[in-house]
Structure 1
């Protein structure tokens, strides 16, 4: 697993560029000096991030398969069928929704927010489960029945949530998903950060058209 500091830098790349004070320069040389400083910092951090050791490759638990292009796009990560149902899973870190404090950062990396969409052919609505996924458990936050164009939910009491756990467990929504989804998020964040460094560097070095 990547080090805590590495994971933090992946989530907040802009903080990495504010570590050095800007030296005093004349107005004539200021733009060039600033560009050079930023490009040097980008290169240093790009090299640093590129050397990070990624987590071991983990396959999704059967019968889930990875949605093609999910690392480059937003949307479902895993998909499977269950009888005549299609089940799609989307994931993000809980810290991306509720920023963690300094003391909670390590725990925040082990808390994933899972969207489970269960749909049936010919049905205009689907079931959406919003779940907390942890290394050793799955917790249901809310359940909704919605059309694809809707975005609403309803919170159930603990008794109802307990009763519905069997429903999602039959469809493979268990803590066994955690190792793969956490590793997948690391890889996605790493690619995103590397691309961010390249894009900013290209923008700064791009020459204005005459």
Structure 2
């Protein structure tokens, strides 16, 4: 796994520095570790300025958040896609040792969750919502269900698992999403985007911790 995806070990202060005093040996060691990580990210894994658009989608990305939002228009429809950062990985499949070694060398097959919402403006009562999985090279629909904004249901029926629907129904739903830009190309883009965002957020976090230790 790339270095920037590895979480830093949890570091806990064993005592507090007295305000106005010189940094303790613990503080100095922690600062050295933090600055080494900051320098490594800045010099060798420098984040790129994130794009603000992809295809018909505008991208909303707030600093410090673990998700982003994409918006677009398709005729009179509003398309909104909420996207997590990496939230899982596919297990290494059962295979001969040589194939397993190749899979490990390629690195983990990371997973991103998407919630796609299609509606006809804020005034519309009906919303079509889809939960999808974005893999590095493909987008998979997991669940499809209609929602009613003005009708609260305690335990709504979400329908069958998408994989259990008729093949033609699945094909039409996939075509429906592709027409609105939610497709394999978007999945590939989101993996690139989130890889970069992971570096951006980690660098931000390291600098915040560095600033705190310096106080």
Give me the TM-score of the superposition, normalised by structure 2. Answer: 0.69
Q: Distance in 2 between matches of 1:134 and 1:66?
A: 19
Q: Deviations over 1:180-200 (max 9, x none)?
A: 212221222122111111111
**Superposition pairs for residues 54-203 of structure 1, below 5 Å?**
54=47, 60-67=53-60, 70-72=61-63, 73=65, 76-93=68-85, 95-96=86-87, 98=88, 106-109=107-110, 111-121=111-121, 122-147=123-148, 153-154=158-159, 155-156=161-162, 157-159=164-166, 160-203=169-212
How many residues of Structure 1 are paired with residues of Structure 2 in the alignment?
Answer: 183
* Superimposed CA distance per residue, residues 130-174 of structure 1 (whole angstroms, 9 cap, x where no aligned partner): 111234332110112235697964433242433421211121111
Whose strand proportion is higher, 1 or 2? 2
* Partner Cα distance (2:90, 2:67) in 1: 24
Alignment of 1:2-13 (within 5 A): 4-9=1-6, 12-13=7-8
Q: CA RMSD in A?
A: 3.3
Contact 1:87 1:119 in 2 (8 A): yes
Please identify which structure carries the higher helix content. 1
* Cα distance in 2, alignment partners of residues 186 and 172 from structure 1: 21
Instruction: Summarize the Cα distance change of 1:55–1:32 in structure 2 as closer, same or farther, 3 Å threshold.
Output: closer
TM-score computed with the length of structure 1 as normaliser: 0.70
Give the 3-state SS of the residue equivalent to 2:124 in structure 1: coil
Over 3 Å counting, the alpha-carbon distance change for 1:202 and 1:54 in structure 2 is closer
Which is further off, 41-50 or 154-163? 154-163
The gaps in structure 1 that reach 5 residues or longer are 19-30
